[in-house]
Structure 1
Amino acid sequence: MSQRSRISCRLPGRARTAARKQSSSTGSSCSSLSLRADPVATEAAQRASDSIDEDIKKEAARRQAARRREVKGVHGWSFRSSVSEDIGQVILLGQAESGKSTLQKQLQLYYASHTLDAERPSWRIVVYANLIKAVRTVLEELEYEFSLARIEYPWPEHGASPGSGPTDVGAQNEINELRRALLPLISLEGSLSSELSDGIAFVGTRHASLFPPRQALFTRPGTRPLADLHRSHGAVVATNRAAQVLGTTVHVIEALWRHRSVGHLLHLRKLRLDESGTSFLNQVQRISKPDYVPSTDDVLHVRLQTVGVIEHSIKVNIASGVYIWKIYDVSGIYLEEDPLTNRVSDSLQLLTSVCANPLLKNAQMILLLNKTDILRRKLEAGIQIRDYITSYGARANNFSTAAEYFRTHFLAAYKKKDVFGRTLYIHFTSMLDVYATQVILASMEDLIMRRHIAQAGLV
């Protein structure tokens, strides 16, 4: 077959019809035309053929992309379409203790609450471990303050310190008695953390109450699923033992938590417990009951440090179909080089690093500025933002002004570093507030689904 004949036979649709008309008007077949074809016509035909080949390649690529489409997200979603199912990928990035694991639990609660219900018995051991860690931290901080008081005020031989207060001899004797009564409970921390980390137990020091803990309860890749813990013999034994000892020492824990020395440290902000410790100490009576099952609020409050990357899968039923969401919880990194580095500055550096990463150029970026409840409490207590962030200047020291400042600041830093022209969506959150967080999740779901549908060519 001649060059012209080959071309005309490959022309689809209207182009093929036009070729047939041209052929019939000359009274010759495609083959006879090719014998008299001049070089100019042949070159033009070749260009047309090449153009068609390119169109076919593009169409094949489009169809392949339709079968396997990705819309990746950082603190957001990415969808991979296939014939059998749509897979959404959620990558959670942020500082240590920024709320990534809590967000994962909020997603689980919002889209697959039945899976969270199935895990509730297994969360008991984590709650007990967090509570015992909080008790130990309180005792360590008290001992540290008492040692400072002994250095500052050397006591007479008869043992009476000058004056009376939260660090006098009487207070120290009371705390020592409480410590002795709590030793059986504190001794269980190692076995609980060992069960949670597959045989590797880490116990922190007093610095854990002042700075982000370097050593803490953690879960790491390859460990058994949390839902299986209540079926593990070792975990069951450790949990039941902790529940038994907790039931016999609950009144001692309450006495320690209400002690004037502890109140003094809390007032001076020298004792900084994490959110789980404060919450569980306030509710120790409920937690110490024999039939205790962790509530949703308890599950959101627990602190279980992530090491490495943990993958969670959730089946999500949305009006447009069923999706499998794979959530990747990436462990945060503590600022080992300088634990006093401002967290806002560190967050800005992390954001700009992520948005400039070419591996994430197709990612949908959603920035969640978490722990607004803590910011509100600090502002209400009179803490001045400008004392820690000089660029805040003379702005009003209230939440609405601070929120707008942080939004503008992060958005400006993002636009400066992002070279891919993406929109950054910013939300202020408190991951412990179930209702408020789920409103935000619904908003983000709508955003991502709209983009997914648009890229699928449905709108």
Structure 2
Amino acid sequence: MLLGQAESGKSTLQKQFQLYYASHSLDREKPLWRPIVYSNILKALRMLMDELDRRYGSGTSSPGSTPGTSSILGSSPASSDPLSSAESAYPLELFPLLPTLQSVVAQEDALASELSGGVKVSGGRSGVYVRAGWQALITPNRAWPLTDIRDAANRPTAVTNQVAGSLLQAQGVIAQFWTHPLVRQLVASQRVRLEEPAAFFLDNIHRIVQADYSPSTDDILHVRLQTLGVTEHSFDIDIGGVRFNWLLYDVGGARGQRHAWVPYFEDATAIIFLAPMSAFDQYLEEDPRTNRIDDSLQLFTTICQNKLLAKAALVLMLNKADLLRKKLEAGIRVRKYISSYGDRPNTYDEVSEYFRAHFIQTHRRKDVWHRVLYTHFTSMLDIKATQSIIISVGEAIMRQHLASVGLS
């Protein structure tokens, strides 16, 4: 089972497993990821526009006029942000771009609804939330043997096609907006916390909007998609000349979904726990008071203690090492968000080792079965390095499993 909080990299690791053990199936799915890429782009544009609107007020008034109380896509007026008190007008260079951007971003909810099959989450949060078999929702002529989507095979992809056309027409405006110094400044200063792949897709906007676009492997690995429930994936693997069938379970990591993990624990051979080190300056969406590193440690503690997992091998992946390095190089101080870090050097080696030590200490204290903990620093977008780790992890898990059943 792949466990960890939301946005820890579980689904990206699942795609890496699929790429290594069943690349043919990933190749067949590539066209189906196209609307997901579009959704990631629309979300990024909306977040950037919301932040500009929050700082400058509505862009719907004429350049140089006093901002109105209405706002782009319903965000709060600029008067609520003390940072914008000296900025009374929307930037003149960006103002002509707004009508086109607004018309593109206005399609986000419709696309999310099509991709999610109408699924909504509590709290009214927007975005794409998918269950197993989501591909059938956007595939007009394919039937998937899953009961919850049995009638979805004939659903049209009209919204996807409409969004594709809008992005194609707006590509120049989107590129001009994305490369504007003010927008870059917002991203660099982390005034806007874009999801990690947003910059990748916006940098590649001219390639992605082409009519014959089919997502590349890199595109699929960069995509962000919220998982609902538990999704099963099957892989045939060869270890030492012996063929095994692996069932890999990817789970939704939000707090409200973690209860769905428990029924799968008793039969689990191994737990691969992902903890995103780069999240030290972020807080849970469900609980803005809880630092994401603290939440990962608390969640890892419960996994180590759970009696249903007593026989499962434990693998810890301290993930998003590449993003951690970038944040530290940009001057973001760990101690600002984690007071216990103190005056230690704000370098990658020191910070990553600090996090590793805390997770290892948690395992030693809470794992009463004294299992071996296999620990790796990972960057899921690095195909070569991740697949090397997958091989190592697979062999270690199988050796431990065979030993546990007396076949080693």
The aligned counterpart of 1:199 is 118
Report how far residue 169 of structure 1 moved: 6.5
1:368 corresponds to which letter in structure 2?
M
Of the candidates 263, 269, 294, which is equivalent to residue 215 of structure 2? 294
Distance 1:144 1:404 in 2: 38
- Pairing 1:435–2:387 present: no
Where does 1:4-19 land on structure 2 (aligned, <5 Å)? none
- Pairing 1:447–2:396 present: yes
Task: Tell me how large the CA RMSD over aligned residues is.
Answer: 2.9
Report how far residue 312 of structure 1 moved: 1.6
Of the candidates 114, 123, 126, which is equivalent to residue 24 of structure 2? 114
Distance 2:121 2:372 in 1: 41
**1:8-52, Cα deviation, whole Å (9 max, x unpaired):** xxxxxxxxxxxxxxxxxxxxxxxxxxxxxxxxxxxxxxxxxxxxx
The aligned counterpart of 1:218 is 129
The aligned counterpart of 1:346 is 295
- Give TM-score scaled by structure 2 length: 0.78
Report how far residue 385 of structure 1 moved: 1.9
**Larger of the two Rg values belongs to structure:** 1
The DSSP-based 3-state class of the residue aligned with 1:181 is: helix
8 Å Cα contact 1:257/1:281 also seen in 2: yes
**1:215-253, Cα deviation, whole Å (9 max, x unpaired):** 321102575557946755545333222222111110010
2:115 corresponds to which letter in structure 1?
L
The DSSP-based 3-state class of the residue aligned with 1:303 is: coil
Bigger mean CA deviation after superposition, 125-134 or 263-272 = 263-272
Of the candidates 274, 280, 294, which is equivalent to residue 201 of structure 2? 280
- Give TM-score scaled by structure 1 length: 0.70
8 Å Cα contact 1:122/1:230 also seen in 2: no
Distance 1:171 1:227 in 2: 38
The DSSP-based 3-state class of the residue aligned with 1:366 is: strand
**1:120-147, Cα deviation, whole Å (9 max, x unpaired):** 0100010011111111111111101103
- Pairing 1:128–2:38 present: yes
The DSSP-based 3-state class of the residue aligned with 1:98 is: coil
Task: Identify, as 1 or 2, the structure richer in helix.
Answer: 1
Distance 1:185 1:431 in 2: 30
The aligned counterpart of 2:226 is 305
Distance 1:204 1:186 in 2: 21
8 Å Cα contact 2:21/2:237 also seen in 1: yes
8 Å Cα contact 2:232/2:250 also seen in 1: yes
Report how far residue 380 of structure 1 moved: 0.9
Report how far residue 356 of structure 1 moved: 0.4
The aligned counterpart of 2:235 is 314
Aligned length in residues: 350
8 Å Cα contact 1:316/1:324 also seen in 2: yes
Report how far residue 182 of structure 1 moved: 2.3
Distance 2:336 2:227 in 1: 32
- After superposition, the Cα gap between the structure-2 partners of 1:425 and 1:393, relative to the gap in structure 1 and judged at 3 Å, is same
1:104 corresponds to which letter in structure 2?
Q
Where does 1:51-450 land on structure 2 (aligned, <5 Å)? 91-147=1-57, 171-200=90-119, 214-221=125-132, 223=134, 225=136, 228=139, 231=142, 232=153, 234-333=155-254, 335=284, 338-450=287-399
**1:358-381, Cα deviation, whole Å (9 max, x unpaired):** 111111011111111111011111
Distance 2:51 2:141 in 1: 33
Report how far residue 270 of structure 1 moved: 0.5
- After superposition, the Cα gap between the structure-2 partners of 1:170 and 1:223, relative to the gap in structure 1 and judged at 3 Å, is closer
- After superposition, the Cα gap between the structure-2 partners of 1:421 and 1:229, relative to the gap in structure 1 and judged at 3 Å, is farther
8 Å Cα contact 2:236/2:244 also seen in 1: yes
Unaligned ranges ≥5, structure 1: 1-90, 158-164, 206-213
The DSSP-based 3-state class of the residue aligned with 1:172 is: coil
1:112 corresponds to which letter in structure 2?
A
Unaligned ranges ≥5, structure 2: 68-83, 143-152, 256-283
The DSSP-based 3-state class of the residue aligned with 2:388 is: helix
1:187 corresponds to which letter in structure 2?
A
Distance 1:169 1:383 in 2: 29
The aligned counterpart of 2:266 is none
8 Å Cα contact 1:191/1:201 also seen in 2: no
Q: Identity of counterpart residues, as a percentage?
A: 47
